[in-house]
A and B are shown apart, each in its own frame.
Chain A
Amino acid sequence: MNLFEAYSEQIKEHSKNPHWTGKCQGENVSFVAHNPLCGDTVTISLVIDNQTITEARAVVNGCAFCRASTSCLLSSVQGLSKQEALSLIDSLLLWSKKTREEKPPLDLFAAFTPVCASPMRLKCVTLSWYALKSAIELSF
């Protein structure tokens, strides 16, 4: 597939108007992930209360796929327990390696299927996934 076609309406919308941006008020965990190859940076900010992610936000300096993927992930983890969020991220990471055989754990991520198939751009999609995983693990 021509990756050009991956700029779907959903990806464009999340990229132009990403959800859950900025830093949480009362943040108690943060994590910065950086890809030196392309310069993308994702700064995760969390409020964790009694093992639950009560708020998750991020500041993204990156490409459209990175911004959109972060927005979709953050929209999916608000209010989840830390363990539920980690399980979701693990299943997303697993799916990203075999998108041809499997559907994503959440339909919201189907738009990233062609991007995950590109070795060059896969990291754009997964940077925030790894960042959030690290942030949660830091909180244990």
Chain B
Amino acid sequence: MAHSRTISPSTTILVLAARHRHEKVTGRTRVQKLIYFLREKLPIAVSYTPYYYGPYSEEVAASLDSLVARNLLKVEVEPRNTEGPFEGRLYQYTLTRDGREVLEQLTREQKSDIQRIESAADHILKGSPSTATLAVASKLHYIVSQSRQPVRRAELSKRARQFGWQIAAGETGKAVQFLLDMGLVSMN
């Protein structure tokens, strides 16, 4: 029986956590957006739909919860988010010792997959994009990818409203540059 080969979201999240400083990823929004972009390069088994803070995956949310329940990630919740405009409560995910052990085993068993994720993650994290940039970039990318034709910059705000998003003109600069650097959009 042939199966399409995919990468699991939980493996991806473990690799992402390991690539961050102190093996800690700050914010559910950040995890959602990083995997949104990683799936442009890798066959990760997730789907995204337009939610309040941009493209959102139930599979990613479920994987985060499951990894915490399996003690592979530790979660700390700050009651009030002071880091940015998202998530009233801020979730911080840190790789546990068990998580590190499992990741090492995965690296032995699925070396090439892990290397692909690491390489793609390093590419995205190269310029240390903020969560705000990633969030706006994911919205813009989603808008463009859902459109059958090229989208003019002036139309982006109007298109965004279709998904319930507000994107001010001043927010798009860094996000567009990120998308250009990643080779995910082109401009003419």
The finding on whether chains A and B are genuine partners in a shared complex, rather than unrelated, reads no
Q: Enumerate chain A interface residues (CB-CB to B < 8 A).
A: none
